[in-house]
Structure 1
């Protein structure tokens, strides 16, 4: 029954891929939530890495896909498969996407766990390894749950009487699926019975929540960039302090705003996942901080590479208005902010293809490349602090493959 359900879900996702999404809103994503780097050459490296950790991370979420609770939700999801609601695109990305569902987050956490956990096989070490695997899995689940929650259409009270019932129904399904994943992840975290780890993951959940209220947004809750300021400020300082992220003087300063937005939309969660793996491995506070910084800078590097590909692609691939190339372009040519003003009610009022041409006329692409290089190099430097071993070498290969 479970196998049949999985096949049914995959068929549903494939069918949705054939549906014309006439609504522009479905194609305009919010901040790319670091779901996965868009690079096909990762396949071989990831398969080799999975052999090292001894766990097929490509199917890390298979258990919740085959659960009875999710089966119920999936049956309801079928009712809206012929609509252009964003939840369909989200489901397709999660369950059956063009990169065979290769998800590097959990894999990197497991590789880092392997690097810091003693190789001696005994009952205690086996329990540590099992807990680290659960941490990697619940981190992926939290990220996916948050991503699903973003697949909503905001409908004002005055419009609810005129929209199709299926749209409201799809919103409810998106909320339920996201809630199910988050509740399941929190249950897994509680069962680990580690107060320090629970505290770390809780700070990441706080950051994700606060990110939803940062900066201006249009009527569909799509983020809008801050108005560029005249003076370029220093880069955003990242540390493992569990206090709320500092939002002072960030809007309008491209690197500071972009870094904060990326940390809010998943970078902090990935950093805490890496930090938690080292904590479970019995390492001290100094190494835990190194792990957090490694995770944050790796997520920043992935994000920069993702956004760079989107803005330089010859296809009509959507891109976020708060991506690094856009923020750099606005700073280089503040007059472009007049275009952003047109989209403050709804970003669909902006012609993204024309705006992309304006962005490419600035130095935004080159500055985004430098942003990627800087964060990738920092991530590799922090990874090397965990020794010269096969897991660390594989992490560096993953970074170099981008």
Structure 2
């Protein structure tokens, strides 16, 4: 749209310049009593200037095709009037043909150019006999002017200067339009490359976040169980067997997560999230997995409406990260998880009675960062409050 607007303005300035130059030359020739000073030629040429001047204020680039064709037809007809009156406005005609390149398809541009050229030449041939007849009738006046060297030089100077000004203006402004369009195209290509790079970065961030929220949690638990088995190897073989069984279950779960991630990436779905994910069931499974390894008492109070899949997926991953942090760092005995709708918002509250942490201190992990990124995707608010030896409370507010 911006390129078309630039081209339209350039065409308008070129057309105004050509009309002014040609009109100046025409008015000067009227004083000499030439053929074009007669009623019919002068009326045709004035009509041509008037029509082209009016049409120069319009450029129907975004109009229906029939209106574009009518516009070009009227514009060409106006210039043909001057040609029939023996006043060829060649550069003005070239400008109109240049317009067709923006208004018509390529095949229609070629046909228009060929047809216009044929009519242009035919009118030129048709206008020669009456012009010669006029010159024969005024042969004595013409012979007398041949002896006026100063008048001939002035005529030649005006005609040459006008023709040069018209042609140079046409060429320069059109070159400016081409250069401007080329710059815009390069800027568009650069912008497209930046968008592609940004999309790649966003995709990498998403993949990293999904790996952290799914495989990262499972592998952490697996590492804890294997470390526990190493410590109990000599002291309590029975507990070692239990830890190894848990580690086996975790490795199987990890493998399933990998397969699911690969499948959803191939299908274009959500990473680490089943398309048929039922939010409440998924939370119950997650809590059951934690209770297999930790002696934590959960108090659930979920009264959530039916959520869109994308929203429930992001909320699930935020809660999962919060529970994972409780499991690894909080040393909590009780966890309260509440979910409800408050006016036009979904509220999720996750609270524990653990040791707490300093919210303002820098964290080397990616868990809290991932929670904030997901909240930003949902357009919500995430509030984290934590106090030493009292616990942590996470409140998520999401528009619904």
- Length-normalised TM-score, structure 2: 0.26
Largest Rg, 1 or 2: 2
Question: Which structure dedicates a bigger proportion of its chain to helix?
Answer: 2
